[in-house]
Amino acid sequence: MSRVGLIVAATAAVMGVALAGCSSGMPDWMPSMPDWMSSAPAAPQLQTLRFESDPPGADIRTIQGQTCFTPCALAVPSENQPITITKAGYVAQTIQVTVAPPPEHSFWENPPATLTPNPLQVVLQAQAPPPKPVRRPRKKTVQRTHTAAKSTRPPAEASGPFPAPPPMQQQGAPASPFPPAPAGQ
């Protein structure tokens, strides 16, 4: 075998042993595989995100469950995520934090992406008071008495197949059920 073939075979054998050693039964003396060769996804990088509110003291909640009261800062993953801001007596708000492209960098550097907005500033709006109930005016009650006082009602108009009853006479003899006699008879 040539010298080059021997080097290639030895390199392949060492790499095979190194890669085969990645199983759970790998001896402690054998070096582990470098991170760049791993197929496992890298954990997201954490970045400090600052929060401010007007008025201060608002409750901040991330999608990961982290909380703080403004003004404050939290270490959050560098990924798009909603942030919820609440305070008693104010309208709750949810703001989307996004990942912006990393700043200009050289080929050899790998800076993390930046979260925007950072700092996250919020002006909270006071909740409108509940509407007052509408008060309807009370109906006036009329007391009716059963006396022989004169009626103030206008005569009822005829409706239906029967004629309206004759108006009541104010004084004198009771009304006759017969029509009055024509004059001159």
Mean pLDDT calculated for residue range 170-184: 66
User: How much is the pLDDT for 74?
Assistant: 93
Does residue 145 come out as left (phi exceeding 0), alpha (psi in the -120 to 50 range) or beta? beta
- pLDDT, the chain, mean: 76
Does residue 73 belong to any structural domain of this protein? yes
Domain of 26, in residue numbers: 3-37
Please check whether residues 76 and 110 belong to one and the same domain: yes
The answer, yes or no, to whether residue 46 has pLDDT greater than 60, is: yes
Please check whether residues 115 and 68 belong to one and the same domain: yes
Report the number of distinct structural domains present in the chain: 2
User: How much is the pLDDT for 4?
Assistant: 67
Residues 53-103: tens digit of each pLDDT: 999 999 999 999 999 999 999 999 988 999 999 999 999 999 999 988 776
CATH number at 102 reads 2.60.40
Torsion of CA 175, 177, 182, 183, to 10 degrees: -20
Q: Which two tokens stand for residue 91?
A: 């309208």
Does residue 88 belong to any structural domain of this protein? yes
Grade residue 116 by pLDDT with cuts at 50, 70 and 90. Answer: confident
Does residue 106 belong to any structural domain of this protein? yes
Residue 48: what are its φ and ψ, rounded to 5°? -80, 125
Q: Which residue has the higher pLDDT, 162 or 121?
A: 121
Please check whether residues 61 and 119 belong to one and the same domain: yes
The answer, yes or no, to whether residue 109 has pLDDT greater than 70, is: no
Q: Which helix (H) or strand (E) holds 3?
A: helix 3-20
Please check whether residues 54 and 78 belong to one and the same domain: yes
Does residue 169 belong to any structural domain of this protein? no
Please check whether residues 53 and 103 belong to one and the same domain: yes
Question: 82: which strand partners?
Answer: 96
Please check whether residues 97 and 31 belong to one and the same domain: no
User: How much is the pLDDT for 31?
Assistant: 64
Please check whether residues 75 and 11 belong to one and the same domain: no
Q: Which of 98, 123, 148 is the last residue of a domain?
A: 123
pLDDT over 70 for what percent of the chain? 52
Please check whether residues 55 and 111 belong to one and the same domain: yes
Please check whether residues 33 and 59 belong to one and the same domain: no
Does residue 23 belong to any structural domain of this protein? yes
User: How much is the pLDDT for 71?
Assistant: 94
The answer, yes or no, to whether residue 126 has pLDDT greater than 60, is: yes
Residues 25-44: tens digit of each pLDDT: 555 665 666 666 666 666 66
Please check whether residues 110 and 89 belong to one and the same domain: yes
